Structure 1
Amino acid sequence: MQEYDLIVLGGGAVGENIADRAVQGGLSAVIVEHELLGGECSYWACMPSKALLRSSAALRAARSVPGAAEAITGDLDVAAVLARRDAFTSHWSDAGQVSWVKSAGIDLVRGHGRISGIREVTVTTPNGGTLMLVARHAVAVSTGSDAYVPDIDGLRDARPWTSREATSVREVPRSLAIIGGGVVAAEMATAYAAFGTLVTLISRGTLLAGMEPFAGERVTEALREQGVDVLLGTEPVRVSRGESGFTVETSAGDAIGAEQLLVATGRTPRTTDLGLETIGLTPGQWLDTDDTLRVPGFDWLYAVGDVNHRALLTHQGKYQARAAGDVIAARANGTVVSDAAWGAHVASADHAAVPQVTFTDPEVASVGLTADAAIAVGYRVRAVDYEIGWVAGASVHADGYRGQARMVVDEDRSVIIGATFVGPDVAELLQAATLAIVGEVPLARLWHAVPAYPTMSEIWLRLLETYGRQSASPRLLAPERTAVTSEPVPAAPVR
């Protein structure tokens, strides 16, 4: 038996951050991990997927600027893209991560950990042995999530790709069918279309349905321009696999054939085999938490990252981890933790200020509430749209730049509660929006945050100008409808 102040189940980016913050707070900590230290993001999600997408995005960007376009004489080198991806994943070796954990004063136990009692974890080691770990203060579950495979006739038996296989591919297929309409589906459709793969995307609804409607519309249009066959409102009803590949039958009676099939329909929690039943919780379910990331009813159990279903994004999981690690250390040291006293260490931003970038072409960058979501929870809002291509910085960035920005304003407080940008390289606009929302900066103060010229950040000036023109004859909203500027005014000439 070994004792620690904190036991962390799961050694991804989230688990590493919890342990690190706890150790910085004076506690001892151990991470239990049965796969690669560094987790999903490092080896099968964020990093490899963005590496796969970046080369084609750079090529498209260069081709949109005269002078650079004429210098391009070849097509995308897929083998070089895959090699660069391999470098980003450290060739699926976690030696560097292991070295960092050791340097941070965190212990590592290889194996599968299961909760076996109060503050108790039993680890099955790679050689089949067992090791008992006991926590003096806390156990943190940061095991993440797995790809969800829906109950479609024949789908599971056909053994399709999930995001793991799509991001770690060694050879690019000639054709690929994708079931799903979310971020992973849209990003992988973008990546594989650039590789020359014939891509069919099958979504039972619209693309990127949880975002502002124009985001999904513009991405759909762009994917079709890139040669992707995007089938919206289409329900897969049966999947089969033969020697030549997969066949997806749809509710419309179509049969779609492809060499490979990717299922990208959401995530499911990794809580099935964690021993939750030993403490009265249900295996296979998401773990609810309060804003200190503690599971209600347990003064020692925390759930951090994807596993709590608050915001399934690596950066949000790491944000939660910093809060949880600090809170665990504070409680272990006898400090009373409350929202009022420890606001900096409570994960409150997960509720309404979650930034996200979808690395399609065009990119989609969003934070906070959409207009419809804000109205649904009772805000009185105004949504303001502007064409990003009318901003001088965007026209310099690329010839024929097309994009759209929207800010959602809480009219009662005169602050921004949501923002969405669609267009090439809009990811770099997102942090300014996040700061405005989290800081609840009044619009009257934002007028004094002067954007440099000519940059795409001038979009902020144009959004505020458009909002000001609307305010001359206010169109304030009842909760049941949204006012959106349908005819934005082009950018004024340089003065």
Structure 2
Amino acid sequence: MTETETNLYDVVVLGAGPVGENVADRTRAAGLTTAVVESELVGGECSYWACMPSKALLRPVIARADARRLPGLRQAVEGPLDTAAVLARRNWYTGDWTDDGQVDWIKSIGADLYRGQGRLTGPRTVSVGDRVLTARHAVVVATGTRAALPALPGLAEVRPWTSREATSAQAAPGRLVVVGGGVVATEMATAWQALGSQVTLLVRGKGLLDRMEPFAGELVAEALTEAGADVRTGTSVASVTRTDGVVVIVTGTGERIEADEILFAVGRAPRTDDIGLETVGLEPGSWLDVDDSLRVDGADWLYAVGDVNHRALLTHQGKYQARIAGAAIAARAAGTPLDRADPWSAHTATADHESVPQVVFTDPEAASVGLSFAEAEAAGHRVRAVDVDMSSVAGAGLYAEGYKGRARMVVDLEREILRGVTFVGPGVGELIHSATVAVVGQVPIARLWHAVPSYPTISEVWLRLLEAFRDN
């Protein structure tokens, strides 16, 4: 019989993705001994199968699209992308799916890394194989999410792509069917269509990017269609089979579609099914509800940070939460009270309530922060939507000939602040932080009039939006 090894730490973190790493960084900076447990690659989903590889695939696609909109440069970028070179660069950004550099970073902050499946075995106790880790102050669940797959008979035998296969594939399939209309679906449809695949996008709902303003999905769908993709809304999948390498999809209306690969991008599920939640009275496979210090409801020692708490499934929001959780754990360990009433408190996460920023790296890009017009109305705010065609902005015309885009700000008419902002168009991802500052800071509309945008930049859209609000 193998003897069990027990180790005592102040904090034990389950998951070594960007979120878990940030928790460990903060607790170590506070002088707390910290163990990090990882069952796969240190660096997590973002580094190897999500943020980094997807943006490495998309950057050449977007750069070529922008170049094609400029006379004098358009002719220089005619022809297909060098798919092999794009994939090689993507591989470099993932470290060829090795995590040596990330492991070195964990060591550099003075945290201990344990490889293997970490499972709770009771309050403040985690097992990793034959080792038992006991936490004096906190156990932090930062295990993230996995792709959710629909309950279609025989789907496992089809070997469908999820976001992992879509971002790590070493060749472009000739025909790719993408099921879904959200961020992963639209970004991967954009990337693989440009890299040589014939893409068919099947969307059950009425349009794409349904969590943004409706015009965002409309403009992205229009651009995908112009690029050669077949975008079909109101289309469900009834069955999927694979025979001799060919995937056969039958839609809800009985239509038959053949493909070389099929990607399901229909949602995410929490990676909490095999971490021992049942030993502490929680439901395995569930999302974990937390307060604003990221502490799990009903447990004064258990924290859930990042995707697993379902507050905002975005890496930057998870890292933000990790900084808050690390500070809260350190404060409680030192016996320092948390002042939750203070909006500037380092111990309180508020940015993921009504002011979450996001960029969708399609062509055109879609970027938003805060509430959409429909969400603001549903929340009971008296609001007005102010829209501007971004082609009216001089900087947009200089950025790209025939620039096509749209901007909206959602104005709270009682408080005269912004509840939300959305931009769609080439290059708008770099605009969203200015909108985030305005929304989070609750900057009065009248003050924004004196935040003068530089000329001639796309940021001048702010002036057009404010003029539209003033004049109508």
Note whether the superposition's TM-score is higher than 0.5: yes
- Counterpart position of 1:14: 19
Query: 1:238 maps to what in 2?
Result: 239
**Using the alignment, how far apart are the partners of 1:212 and 1:194 within structure 2?**
25
What number of residue pairs does the alignment pair up? Answer: 465
The answer to whether 1:45 aligns with 2:50 is yes
1:358 paired to 2:360: yes
Runs of 4+ in 1 over 4 A off after TM superposition: none
1:204-256 residue CA offsets vs partner (Å, 9 max, x unmatched): 00211111000011111111111111110011111111113211111111011
* Correspondence for 2:407 among 400, 405, 413: 405
Return the alpha-carbon distance in structure 2 between the equivalents of residues 139 and 159 of structure 1: 35
CA contact (8 A) 1:180 1:265 kept: yes
Q: Contact (CA 8 Å) 1:23, 1:105: kept in 2 or not? A: yes
Q: Name the residue aligned to 1:204.
A: 204
Question: CA offsets per residue over residues 429-464 of structure 1, 9 Å max, x none?
Answer: 100000000000000110110000000000000000
Distance of 1:408 and 1:340 partners within structure 2: 27
1:106 Cα offset (Å) = 1.1
Q: For residues 260 and 421 of structure 1, do their structure 2 counterparts lie closer, same or farther at Cα, with a shift above 3 Å needed?
A: same
Look up the equivalent residue of 2:305 and give its one-letter code. Answer: V
The more displaced of 59-68 and 377-386 is 59-68
Matched residue, 2:186? 186
Aligned equivalents of 1:259, 1:74: Cα separation in 2:
24
Letter in 1 for 2:389: E
Q: Distance in 2 between matches of 1:296 and 1:399?
A: 53
Q: Aligned partners of 1:181 and 1:73: how far apart in 2?
A: 29
One-letter code of the match for 1:368? G
Gaps of 5+ in 1: 125-129, 471-495
**Equivalent in 20, 33, 49 of residue 38 of structure 2:** 33
Separation (CA, whole Å) in 2 of partners of 1:305 and 1:445: 34
| 1:108 maps onto 2:104 in alignment | no
Which residue in the other structure is 1:164 paired with?
Answer: 164
What per-residue deviation string (whole Å, max 9, x for no partner) do you get for residues 93-150 of structure 1?
11111111111111111111000011000002xxxxx101000000000000000001
2:74 is matched by which residue type in structure 1? A
Per-residue deviation, residues 145-204 of structure 1 (Å, max 9, x unmatched): 000001123323322010000100011110101111111000000001101211111110
Within a 5 Å distance, the mapping from 1:214-229 to structure 2 comes to: 214-229=215-230
CA deviation after TM superposition for structure 1 residue 340, in Å: 2.2
1:469 equivalent in alignment to 2:468: no
**1:388 and 2:393 are equivalent in the alignment:** no
Q: Please give the residue correspondences for 1:87-486 in structure 2 after superposition, counting only pairs within 5 Å.
A: 87-124=92-129, 130-205=130-205, 206-341=207-342, 343-470=345-472
In 1, Cα distance between equivalents of 2:79 and 2:299: 60
Equivalent residues of 2:327, 2:346 under 8 A apart? no
CA distance in 1, matches of 2:372, 2:146: 27
Residues 149 and 156, structure 1, Cα contact 8 Å, conserved in 2: no
SS in structure 1 at match of 2:312: coil
The aligned counterpart of 1:485 is: none
Q: Is the 8 A contact 1:153 1:237 kept in 2?
A: no
Q: Distance in 2 between matches of 1:239 and 1:154?
A: 8
Q: Which amino acid aligns with 2:350?
A: S
Q: TM-score, normalised by structure 1?
A: 0.93
Distance 1:344 1:410 in 2: 27
Q: What amino acid is the match of 2:193? A: A
Q: CA deviation at 1:73?
A: 4.9
Q: Secondary structure at the match of 2:366?
A: strand
Contact 1:406–1:421 under 8 Å retained in 2: yes
* 8 Å Cα contact 1:355/1:367 also seen in 2: yes
Partners of 2:251 and 2:209 in 1: how far apart? 20
Shift of 1:82: 0.1
Q: Distance in 2 between matches of 1:144 and 1:71?
A: 43
Q: 1:200 to 1:453 in 2, by over 3 A?
A: same
For 2:461, give the aligned amino acid.
I
**Counterpart secondary structure, 1:385:** strand
How does 1:64-79 map onto structure 2 within 5 Å?
64-79=69-84
Q: What is the CA–CA distance in structure 1 between the aligned matches of 2:158 and 2:348, rounded to whole Å?
A: 44
Which residue in the other structure is 1:489 paired with?
none
> For the Cα contact (< 8 Å) 1:41–1:314, is it kept in 2?
yes
Q: Secondary structure at the match of 2:410?
A: strand
Distance (Å, rounded) in 2 between the aligned partners of 1:445 and 1:42: 39
Q: Secondary structure at the match of 2:54?
A: helix
AA aligned to 1:108 is L
Amino acid paired to 2:403: Y
* Cα separation, 2, equivalents of 1:333 and 1:73: 62
| Consecutive unaligned residues in structure 2, runs of 5 or more | 1-5
For 2:91 and 2:233, locate their aligned partners in 1 and report how far apart those are by CA, in whole Å. 33
Q: Residues 382-432 of structure 1: CA distance to partner in whole angstroms, max 9, x if unpaired?
A: 000001111000000010001000000111100001010000010011000
AA paired with 1:216? Answer: G
The residue type paired with residue 187 of structure 1 is E
